[in-house]
């Protein structure tokens, strides 16, 4: 059995042997030899042997490696989700591949490794497109929410709307949920950036309504933040204090959720809104709160906010 940490490329060659007359390695699942008997330590040797395998043989070895890791780590298999995702993505076990790709992407999002998360989420969605039954509605919704978060960080608002629209029907059919509310908020943000303000108004109100019905403070707050943004760019026929009233509630939610990102976004918008009306002193007050928050919490995205 593999020990924790033993998942480098040598695991590709566990129980591989060559019989007389065979030109390619084959998997011999009945041999009793240990993995150490077949450890090829030099990277070039590993690459050459791996490259010589036929695709079905590779898939078998990847599945054996993944199953050994799962057995070794048990209920802590999430700790090596990236490795399990790597292996299962090279097998026909789509349900396992999607599950571990989702977990690995979440880990990368937590440390802002966007390129890695993007690749894993797109791979998971491609699997689901090919085999819709390999992921239930909840897992799909979680993956879509995370993928839309990447769109946000990359300011890809066109992609944000496209992806949300692509999966909206299936998520709507599954019923109101936290994930549906978050997807609709992202969709509203995509519409807002495309100047589709009426569409944005409708989906953001629905996202907020779902959050209210579920009593989910995060859903409510993020929908309201986008409604604040919409109110800032379409101020006609809105009360002058509409943004400030919504901001008060959003900041309260950010404090309860310990969500420094949401708090930062709100201070940023509160500084922009009076600035565009010529109220420099008020804008400066809110900008000061943003700067203080970034320094106090050592927030990783603080510099990007200040840079704007």
Per-residue confidence (pLDDT) for residue 36, from 0 to 100: 45
CA distances from 85 to 159, 172, 294 (A): 25, 28, 34
Q: Spell out the domain ranges in the chain.
A: 155-247, 259-308
Q: Which of 270, 264, 269, 291 is nearest to 282 (CA)?
A: 270
Per-residue confidence (pLDDT) for residue 146, from 0 to 100: 97
pLDDT tens by residue, 116-131:
999 999 999 999 999 9
Per-residue confidence (pLDDT) for residue 301, from 0 to 100: 53
Q: Categorize the per-residue pLDDT at 250 as very low, low, confident or very high, splitting at 50, 70 and 90.
A: very high
Asked whether the predicted pLDDT for residue 50 surpasses 60, the reply is: no
Specify the residue for token string 């789509």.
94
Please check whether residue 137 is in contact with residue 172, taking contact to mean a CB–CB distance below 8 angstroms. no
Asked whether the predicted pLDDT for residue 42 surpasses 90, the reply is: no
Distance from C-alpha of 102 to C-alpha of 105, rounded to nearest angstrom: 5
Higher pLDDT among residues 296 and 142, named by residue: 142
Asked whether the predicted pLDDT for residue 2 surpasses 50, the reply is: no
């Amino acid at each position: 059995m593999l020990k924790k940490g033993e998942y480098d490329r040598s695991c590709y060659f566990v129980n591989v042997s060559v019989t007389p007359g065979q030109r390619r390695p084959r998997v011999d699942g009945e041999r009793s030899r240990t993995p150490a008997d077949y450890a090829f330590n030099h990277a070039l040797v590993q690459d050459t042997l791996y490259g010589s395998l036929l695709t079905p043989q590779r898939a078998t070895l990847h599945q054996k490696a993944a199953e050994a890791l799962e057995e070794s780590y048990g209920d802590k298999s999430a700790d090596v989700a990236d490795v399990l995702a790597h292996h299962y993505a090279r097998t026909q076990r789509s349900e396992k591949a999607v599950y571990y790709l989702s977990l690995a992407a979440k880990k990368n999002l937590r440390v802002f490794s966007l390129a890695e998360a993007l690749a894993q989420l797109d791979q998971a969605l491609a699997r689901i497109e090919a085999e819709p039954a390999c992921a239930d509605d909840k897992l799909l919704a979680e993956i879509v929410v995370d993928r839309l978060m990447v769109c946000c960080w990359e300011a890809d608002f066109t992609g944000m709307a496209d992806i949300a629209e692509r999966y909206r029907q299936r998520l709507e059919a599954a019923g109101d949920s936290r994930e549906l509310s978050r997807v609709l908020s992202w969709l509203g943000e995509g519409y807002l950036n495309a100047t589709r303000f009426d569409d944005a108004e409708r989906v953001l109100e629905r996202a907020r309504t779902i959050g209210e019905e579920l009593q989910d403070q995060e859903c409510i707050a993020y929908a309201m933040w986008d409604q604040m943004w919409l109110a800032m760019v379409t101020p006609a026929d809105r009360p002058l204090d509409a943004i400030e009233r919504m901001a008060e509630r959003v900041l309260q939610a950010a404090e309860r959720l310990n969500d420094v990102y949401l708090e930062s976004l709100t201070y940023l918008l509160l500084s922009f809104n009076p600035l565009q009306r010529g109220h420099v002193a008020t804008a400066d007050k809110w900008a000061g709160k943003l700067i203080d928050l970034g320094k106090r919490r050592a927030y990783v995205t603080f510099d990007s906010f200040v840079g704007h």
